[in-house]
Amino acid sequence: MHQDPSSLPQGTGCGKLILFGEHAVVWGAPALVTSLELGAHALLRTLPHEDRSSLTLLDASTRAELATLYADAEHGSPLERALATILHILPIDAPVHLDVTLHVPPGAGLGSSAAMAVAMARAIASAYPAAAPHVEQAVAASEAIFHASASGIDQAAAMGSGLIRFEKGPPSSLQPLHLPTPLELVICLAAPGASTARMVQHVLAQRQRHSALFEHLRGAVDAIVHDAIEALQRDDRAQLGELMNLNHGLLYGMGLSTPEIERAISIARDQGALGAKLTGAGGGGCIYALGQDHAHTEAIVTTLQASGFHAFIAHITPST
Ligand code: PMV
């Protein structure tokens, strides 16, 4: 017998866009990140007659089923281990099935893994209120599976922080930022994403070889984030764009860009974007670009789409 889905326990998690400071945030620098309206949604059914919990992953745009899998703490894929970990931390009294719908492309630097973990943990907490105080712990444990040395930035945004200045800590610091006007950004999926854990290790290994130089890079990211907050608060788009290009230059120098990322960035800049940079771990995944106004932002999206990229507009609103 099928239950009406709207009556089932459910939860949502947000995607995220790192505006400035990815990677350096892992070594203690501040970063700017915003939650995205789109993320992941989970519906929970209890399975009193089954002996294992399971998950079906659906793509929101195509409704295609991407995978069906079972909780498996030891031998499973990262998502199977993440499900097992969340269910280990959140007390439930019978196996469950979660229908998880993804509204952001998976593994592309837009925080899909944290969004899924938050959506699943919140769906479970809505069925089992005793689980609610442990949601953050469950999400952190799930993120540790996907991201070695995770800074926690994805988790903060996935829980719906809005636009924040984030520092890893400990303790982590989340400072909400206020914008004079909502901001529109172009997000473009340049290529399939690489493993975040691998990219983070790649940068940490360079940092070990060039520790004094990386202190300067950290200082540069500190200054970029500081100036970007001022530019955002003055609505100084030209300054913001320049800072995006500077931050991209640093990430490029760390070996995090790819020919596809450079192609998408060149197309956006040739269209007159005020700035464009990779976002997230790099090695693939997404870029974002800043247009001069709404019409220009739409024109950049159209040109990227005509060049074969998946591109769309994200609306960044002030934190409440
Ligand atoms: O996995 P992504 O692409 O969402 O990147 C996460 C951001 C990093 O700074 C690279 C890692 C982290 O945990 O902060």
> Could you report the per-residue pLDDT of 24-35, keeping only the tens digit for each?
999 999 999 999
Which atom of ligand 1 sits closest to the CA of residue 150? 13
pLDDT digits (tens, 9 = 90+) for 112-140: 999 999 999 999 999 999 999 999 999 99
pLDDT digits (tens, 9 = 90+) for 252-310: 999 999 999 999 999 999 999 999 999 999 999 999 999 999 999 999 999 999 999 99
pLDDT digits (tens, 9 = 90+) for 70-81: 999 999 999 999
Which atom of ligand 1 sits closest to the CA of residue 279? 3
Kindly give, in sequence order, each residue whose CB lies less than 8 Å from that of residue 306, ignoring residues fewer than 6 positions away: none
Q: How many angstroms does the Cα of residue 48 sit away from the middle of ligand 1?
A: 38
For residue 40, name the pLDDT band (cuts at 50, 70, 90).
Answer: very high
DSSP string, 271-286: TT-SEEEE-SS-SSEE
- Give the mean model confidence (pLDDT) for residues 90-107: 92
For residue 319, name the pLDDT band (cuts at 50, 70, 90).
Answer: low
Across 21-64, where does the E strand assignment appear? 31-46, 54-59
Nearest CA to ligand 1 atom 13: 150
Q: What is the overall mean pLDDT for the chain?
A: 94
Distance CA 96, CA 124 (A): 9
Ligand 1 pocket check for 26: Cβ under 6 Å: yes
C-alpha triplet 140, 146, 148: angle, nearest 5°: 80
Which atom of ligand 1 sits closest to the CA of residue 282? 3
Ligand 1 pocket check for 29: Cβ under 6 Å: no
- Give the mean model confidence (pLDDT) for residues 9-33: 97
For residue 3, name the pLDDT band (cuts at 50, 70, 90).
Answer: low
For residue 320, name the pLDDT band (cuts at 50, 70, 90).
Answer: very low
Q: 166-178: b or e for each residue (b if 16 or more CB lie within 10 Å)?
A: bbbeeeeebeebe
C-alpha triplet 317, 177, 230: angle, nearest 5°: 110
Residue percentage of the chain with pLDDT more than 90: 85
What 8-state DSSP symbol labels residue 91? -
Q: Is 96 left (phi over 0), alpha (psi -120 to 50) or beta?
A: beta
HSE (CB half, 13 Å, CA atoms) of 264?
A: 31
